[in-house]
Chain A
């Protein structure tokens, strides 16, 4: 049996092990055709390797220099910034955002490496799905306390330098502007009983953390963790990038419905950062509420999962357009805003509506394909 170029390339790249590797080895000794294919591929591989390795090494230097030069418009992240008077759903988002910030540590645990050429040479962790982890008020309090006061005199701010760029502010846009603001196919369905929606754009923003290894290690120690971050991580930047999002707000007699869509947020870091080690170190902190740690550690495919911390019992997992979605029910207020969140082809959709029940949400979601 002969091997195609893909198989032989896998063999060259050390991706084939065990018996199959031996089989290929033996075959290459006896088959002229495969031998020629192999030596061509190997020659290409060596040539490209020399160029690419030099490029990657030099690009990394260039990237670091660029980062030093880059002037980011710095602004303090302010949770109060979300304009008042905006519809109640903002409150829900705000609550989610606050919860997410409170478990900022969890944020780092929720992403994993993929890579892209998007801007120079970076490792990118992109969110591909959403998952709820339940959090009790006690957990929340404990995390909040750690964030605010630190433990044993350790301040969370010692973790490194934080830079915030971009403003999370919504501006009205036309359909055309909205379409050109995002790099995916915007879905604006027509809803029965509702007029044309008002569109708003939330420009992308980013938060960077240049990690201070000593600060983090002091914290890990104070929190009783045994793992330490390696010295090489010092000064490495992690950037949480929240891409531009478009929100369509529909008004009708039954209240309002809002559909938000955006690419999943991603975390970028320079290459060579051992994210698994960081995850291990953070998960090893005894200060993490046990209930919380268990859930974090249990997240399968943590690499591509964004975690939404929610009080227990507020959500149901439902299939949406062939992918996993989460329906979140807000308490028992007068007109609760319920939200359906799902991810499709790298775009995260959030559909929210006053008194919107699950079947109604799924019906609307069905129009977004």
Chain B
């Protein structure tokens, strides 16, 4: 019981700190998405909003069988760009 409440306290502290980090991240994400081709951007936004490949395919015109590839590559570029931006900040 005691242990449980301690954990909760800690995670609360963590999340308030995290929310500050988040604001910076949000701007960065916005910038990264802006640089992406619209197709990739839509795929990522839809994916993380809970849309299925089928729906993504219909919205973007990408063949359903290729959605995975588009997402995989978009995510790799997203990550590279994110590391690049983070690297330049420090």
Residue numbers of A with Cβ under 8 A of B are 4-10, 13, 15, 41, 44-45, 47-49, 51-56, 58-59, 113-117, 121, 124, 271-272, 303-304
Contact = CB atoms under 8 A, between A and B. Distances in A.
Given A5-B73, A47-B79, A117-B38, A10 B68 contact: yes
Interface size bucket, B side? 35 or more
A59 B78 contact: no
A26 B58 CA distance: 31
Contacts of B22: 54, 58
A279 B78 CA distance: 36
Interface of B, helix, strand, loop or mixed by DSSP = helix
A7 B71 CA distance: 11
A13 B43 CA distance: 13
B58 A52 contact: no
Contacts of B44: 48, 52
B45 A56 contact: yes
A343 to B, nearest CB: 14
A58 to B, nearest CB: 5
22 contacts: A4-B69, A5-B69, A6-B65, A6-B72, A8-B68, A44-B78, A51-B25, A51-B78, A53-B48, A54-B25, A56-B48, A56-B49, A58-B23, A59-B30, A113-B51, A115-B42, A116-B59, A117-B38, A117-B41, A117-B42, A117-B45, A124-B59
B53 A44 contact: no
B11 interface: no
Contacts of A53: 48
Nearest to B21: A54
A268 to B, nearest CB: 13
A189 to B, nearest CB: 26
B48 A52 contact: yes
A51 B49 CA distance: 13
Contacts of A117: 33, 38, 41-42, 45
Interface in B31-70: 33, 38, 41-42, 44-49, 51-53, 55, 58-60, 65-70
A303 B55 CA distance: 10
* Most-contacted residue by chain A among B25, B29, B48, B72 (CB, 10 A): B72
